[in-house]
């Protein structure tokens, strides 16, 4: 496998993830807290809530605010925390969150479907290729069906969490 292929695989995966985010109508945001540790508790001094795509654009403002807080509180260790979430559902969007897992599964499905199409296209000229009985293709299709079932389960879990979040928000 060439290094070019590795990069293009990553780019394709990023596109698949972006497509899944769009399908799920996810609005990714970042909550950035500037805080210090007081015993075992974090005391928040300032919070930014920005779009994920604006993170780099606003980095200088966040760094400036952190420097200002350090000057105002020289004996405290000022730290920066980030939490990613979806604006529409309010759910956490970290790497082990149910939202990220669902998006990842949808991205994997798109990749698997593309692999199936490429495999069929590559074997189109092979007169011994039987699309309905090819063991490799059947195995890939079985895995695809399992991933689709996993997406269904993940979507149900996500719906329950959104309902729970909405109830908490309305209280």
- Sketch the domain layout of the chain as residue ranges: 28-86, 94-170
pLDDT value for 151: 85
Name the one residue in this structure whose structure tokens are 């985010």.
21
CA distance readout (Å), 102 to 28, 96, 109, 128, 150: 14, 10, 11, 38, 9
pLDDT value for 137: 85
In angstroms, the CA 120 to CA 114 distance is 10
pLDDT value for 8: 67
In angstroms, the CA 102 to CA 86 distance is 13
Per-residue pLDDT of the chain (171 residues; tens, 9 = 90+): 444 565 667 777 777 777 777 777 778 899 999 999 888 898 999 999 999 899 999 999 999 999 999 999 999 999 999 988 888 777 787 777 777 788 788 888 888 888 888 888 888 888 887 888 888 888 888 989 998 898 888 888 877 777 777 777 777
Token couple for 157: 């879990």
pLDDT value for 6: 57
């Amino acid at each position: 496998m060439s290094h070019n292929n590795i990069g293009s695989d990553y780019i394709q995966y990023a596109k698949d993830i972006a497509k899944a985010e769009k399908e799920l109508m996810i609005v990714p945001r970042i909550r950035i807290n500037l805080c210090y540790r007081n015993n075992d508790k974090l005391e928040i001094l300032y919070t930014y809530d920005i779009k994920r795509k604006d993170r780099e654009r606003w980095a200088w403002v966040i760094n400036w605010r952190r420097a200002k807080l350090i000057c105002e509180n020289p004996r405290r260790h000022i730290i920066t925390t980030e939490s990613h979430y979806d604006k529409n559902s309010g759910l956490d969007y970290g790497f082990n969150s149910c939202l990220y897992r669902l998006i990842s599964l949808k991205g994997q499905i798109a990749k698997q479907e593309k692999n199936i199409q490429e495999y069929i296209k590559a074997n189109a000229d092979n007169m011994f290729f039987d699309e309905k009985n090819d063991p490799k293709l059947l195995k890939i299709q079985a895995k695809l069906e399992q991933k689709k079932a996993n997406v269904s389960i993940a979507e149900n879990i996500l719906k329950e969490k959104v309902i729970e979040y909405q109830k908490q928000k309305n209280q």
